[in-house]
């Protein structure tokens, strides 16, 4: 398996693009024509070959450029990566999990040589070849969590489990949908979800927490979440809201297909062996309406979902302003034909 | 004066109730303004709370200092602002044991700030109580520059550090002891909604 890595940006001139292959494997989050919250959790690392679902930590054509964007964000705001003092062991757990998974899924891109605690890690796409002592942080240029998450796409929250809850006690968060690690660090599961509308009354979080606290080693799970973003911007943080917020006003009926992006989070859940912490990677995928609509089933479905979404959810996801334009644009792809259940593109005729 | 009844809000927004004595356990009692009366009420209900108790009081223009000083605590510290007695409070936290109880009373800003200090010192959240008295001024953190602004009573308000216009969220961090302030005119710079008093 060889991946051709894009040379692209996720800020300023926004040269990000999806190849036709990337569009076909996009994790489209809607399995039917309407959307409401649910605890839509399923077992991870099973899915059609070539999709983001059949590997532990997906590496795609955006890998090298996304890691470059992460480094810029981190340089401007080091508080995007934090780990409370009791979380270092969990950081080593995460490092081991990501390294061994990447080697198993992409043996041509990554190598891990282990002799007891003497480890050598080779990351060919990023040109890294480091030798270090496992569980000895002084032998790495960063703490273990920061070291490995600088080489993995998406955000990572590492949750401590105690007192009947999960606690957001460490994380690397540079491509988030408008939440602040620096504000939320140290919060429990209920506290950090407090601002989400409707879901509390539906007792979503209660059930999700019960599930997550029982995730077992070697049995990871996943769910998809989504929102909308103007421009292919990874760093839609509250910290920089005053910088990216004005871009929402640059959408017009003429450019909405190119500028309006569906932002999908592939969230996975992993029990870590030594610390008993829960790793919670949140991988972000971006595709604009034009590219998504090239798949007939997705064009039809996206129109129906966005058109019929409760106002409260559109508000929370921050696209109330541009929603009429989005629905109008998407309506051209909706001929009223039935769509098949499930998220994959192939089944329906154009 | 009674305790404040806040309107229903999101689940990270703290709620407060009347202080409950844990008797003669080691105690750190902190109050500002009319929170001083809440401590006097607590002491009236159970004087043993001061057997191994230290009081930290921010006067904020009130007269409770004299009574609190005479109430019989092991130590009494008073300041015009919390910052004036913060070092002494931190020293007391550093000496705290598993059994130490923290009693906080007064403004939400004081309770939040003192809670954050206690958590940072390793005090278990279950050992900390707060009783709200007085006004509803909030301690706000600017999510953009991270600066803290005390005594915020209006929404929106101006960040005292970076000058952005911020709206007052109910989202609260116990670790920071502060609510979150987010730029209110990010999407339309200069279009700031009319300023209102913060609601209960």
The confidence score (pLDDT) of residue A197 equals 76
Looking at chain B, which residues constitute the CATH 3.40.50.80 domain(s)? 27-132
**Closest chain A residue to B174, measured at CA:** A187
First to last CA, chain B: 16
Residue A250 to chain B, least CA–CA distance (Å)? 10
A170: which chain B residues are within 8 Å (Cβ-Cβ)?
none
Q: Which helix (H) or strand (E) holds A129?
A: strand A128-133
Contact B175 A187 (CB under 8 A): yes
Tens digit of each residue's pLDDT (9 = 90 or more) over A192-243: 998 887 777 778 888 889 999 999 999 999 999 999 999 999 999 999 999 9
CATH class given for the domain over B27-132: alpha beta
Contact A246 B186 (CB under 8 A): yes
A241: which chain B residues are within 8 Å (Cβ-Cβ)?
143-144, 182-183, 186
Most B CBs within 10 A among A184, A188, A194, hence the mutation to make, goes to: A194
DSSP annotation of A138: G
Tens digit of each residue's pLDDT (9 = 90 or more) over A283-330: 999 999 999 999 999 999 999 999 999 998 899 898 999 999 999 999
pLDDT band at A2 (very low <50, low <70, confident <90, very high): confident
Mean pLDDT of A252-266: 98
A182: which chain B residues are within 8 Å (Cβ-Cβ)?
146
Cβ contacts below 8 Å, chain A against chain B, sum to 68
For chain A, give me the number of helices (H) and strands (E)?
13, 10
Q: Do B182 and A241 form a contact (C-beta atoms < 8 A)?
A: yes
Contact B187 A245 (CB under 8 A): yes
**Closest chain A residue to B165, measured at CA:** A242
Q: Do A226 and A315 form a contact (C-beta atoms < 8 A)?
A: no
Token output for A261: 């992006």
Residue B131 to chain A, least CA–CA distance (Å)? 20
Strands A221-230 and A260-271: antiparallel
Q: Which residues contact A322 (CB under 8 A, 6 or more apart)?
A: A228, A230, A248, A251, A256, A260
Which residue positions in chain B have pLDDT lower than 70?
A: 1-5, 200
The confidence score (pLDDT) of residue A177 equals 87
Decide if pLDDT at A346 tops 60: yes
Q: State how far the Cα of A134 lies from the Cα of A127, in Å rounded to an integer.
A: 20
B175: which chain A residues are within 8 Å (Cβ-Cβ)?
185-187
Q: State how far the Cα of A280 lies from the Cα of A227, in Å rounded to an integer.
A: 18
Q: Do A99 and A110 form a contact (C-beta atoms < 8 A)?
A: yes
The confidence score (pLDDT) of residue A13 equals 97
Q: How many CB atoms lie within 10 A of CB A16?
A: 22
User: What are the residue numbers of the active site of A?
Assistant: 223
Q: How many CB atoms lie within 10 A of CB A152?
A: 24
The confidence score (pLDDT) of residue B140 equals 95
Most B CBs within 10 A among A165, A180, A181, A183, hence the mutation to make, goes to: A183
A229: which chain B residues are within 8 Å (Cβ-Cβ)?
none
A245: which chain B residues are within 8 Å (Cβ-Cβ)?
183, 186-187
ipTM comes to 0.85
Decide if pLDDT at A349 tops 60: no
Most B CBs within 10 A among A189, A191, A198, A246, hence the mutation to make, goes to: A191
The confidence score (pLDDT) of residue A347 equals 59
What is the average pLDDT value for chain A, to the nearest integer? 94
Tens digit of each residue's pLDDT (9 = 90 or more) over A121-175: 999 999 999 999 999 999 999 999 999 999 999 999 999 999 999 999 999 999 9
B168 phi and psi, to 5 degrees?
-95, 110
Contact A245 B176 (CB under 8 A): no
The confidence score (pLDDT) of residue B4 equals 67
Decide if pLDDT at A348 tops 70: no
The confidence score (pLDDT) of residue B1 equals 44
Contact residues of B toward A, CB < 8 A? 10-13, 119, 141, 143-144, 146, 164, 169-176, 180, 182-183, 186-189
Tens digit of each residue's pLDDT (9 = 90 or more) over A31-55: 999 988 777 789 998 889 999 999 9
Contact A183 B173 (CB under 8 A): yes
Decide if pLDDT at A275 tops 80: yes
Contact A239 B143 (CB under 8 A): yes
Q: State how far the Cα of A134 lies from the Cα of A94, in Å rounded to an integer.
A: 12
My answer on whether omega of the bond before B124 falls inside 30° of 0, hence cis, is: no
Q: Which of B11, B180, B186 sits opposite A183 (nearest CB)?
A: B180
A238: which chain B residues are within 8 Å (Cβ-Cβ)?
143-144, 180, 182
Higher pLDDT among residues B135 and A115, named by residue: A115
In sequence order, what DSSP letters do the residues of B122-155 get, joined into one string? T--GGGEEEEE-S---EEEEETTT--EEEEE-EE
Residue B147 to chain A, least CA–CA distance (Å)? 12
**Closest chain B residue to A196, measured at CA:** B10
The confidence score (pLDDT) of residue B9 equals 79
Token output for A332: 């051209």
């Amino acid at each position: 398996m060889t991946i051709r890595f894009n040379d692209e940006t996720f800020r300023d001139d926004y040269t990000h693009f999806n190849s036709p292959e990337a569009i076909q494997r996009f994790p489209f989050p809607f399995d039917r024509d309407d959307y409401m919250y649910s605890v839509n959790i399923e077992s991870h690392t099973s899915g059609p070959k070539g999709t983001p679902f059949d590997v532990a930590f997906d590496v795609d054509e955006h890998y090298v450029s996304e890691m470059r964007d992460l480094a810029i964000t981190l340089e401007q705001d080091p508080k995007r990566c934090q780990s409370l003092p009791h979380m270092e062991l969990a950081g080593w757990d995460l490092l081991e999990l990501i390294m061994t998974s990447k080697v198993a899924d992409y043996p041509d891109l990554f190598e891990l040589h282990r002799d007891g605690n003497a480890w050598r890690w080779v990351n060919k796409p990023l040109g890294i070849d480091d030798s270090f002592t496992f569980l000895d942080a002084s032998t790495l240029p960063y703490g273990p969590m920061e070291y490995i998450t600088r080489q993995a796409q998406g955000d990572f929250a590492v949750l401590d489990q105690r007192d009947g809850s999960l606690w957001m006690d460490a994380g690397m968060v540079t491509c988030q949908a408008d939440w602040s690690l620096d504000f939320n660090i140290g919060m429990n599961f209920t506290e950090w979800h407090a601002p989400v509308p409707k879901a509390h009354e539906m007792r979503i979080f209660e059930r999700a927490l019960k599930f997550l606290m029982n995730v077992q080693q070697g049995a990871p799970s996943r769910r998809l979440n989504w929102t909308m973003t103007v421009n292919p911007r990874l760093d839609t943080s509250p910290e920089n809201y005053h910088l990216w917020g004005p871009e929402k006003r640059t959408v017009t009926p003429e450019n909405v297909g190119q500028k309006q992006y569906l932002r999908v989070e592939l969230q996975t859940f992993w029990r870590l062996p030594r610390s008993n912490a829960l790793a919670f990677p949140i991988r972000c995928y971006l595709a604009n309406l034009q590219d998504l609509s090239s798949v007939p089933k997705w064009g039809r479905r996206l129109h129906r979902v966005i058109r019929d979404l409760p106002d409260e959810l559109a508000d929370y996801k921050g696209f109330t302003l541009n929603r009429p334009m989005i629905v109008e644009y998407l309506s051209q792809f909706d001929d009223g034909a039935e769509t098949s259940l499930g998220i994959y593109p192939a089944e329906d005729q154009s | 004066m009674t305790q404040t009844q806040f309107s229903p809000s999101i689940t990270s927004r703290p709620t407060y109730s009347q202080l409950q004595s844990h008797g003669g356990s080691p105690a750190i009692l902190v109050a500002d303004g009319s929170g001083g009366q809440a401590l006097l009420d607590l002491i009236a209900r159970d004087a043993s709370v001061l057997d191994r108790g230290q009081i930290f009081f921010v006067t904020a223009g009130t007269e409770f200092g004299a009574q609190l000083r005479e109430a019989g605590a092991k130590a009494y510290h008073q300041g015009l602002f919390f910052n004036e007695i913060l070092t002494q409070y931190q020293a007391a936290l550093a000496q705290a044991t598993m059994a130490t109880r923290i009693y906080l009373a007064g403004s939400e800003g004081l309770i939040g700030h003192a809670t954050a200090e206690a958590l940072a010192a390793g005090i278990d959240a279950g050992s900390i109580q707060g009783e709200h008295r007085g006004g509803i001024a909030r301690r706000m953190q600017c999510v953009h520059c991270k600066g803290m602004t005390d005594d915020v009573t209006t929404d929106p308000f101006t960040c005292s550090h970076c000058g952005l216009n911020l709206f007052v969220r109910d989202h609260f961090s116990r670790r920071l002891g502060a609510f979150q302030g987010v730029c209110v005119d990010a999407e339309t710079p200069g279009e700031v909604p009319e300023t209102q008093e913060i609601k209960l």
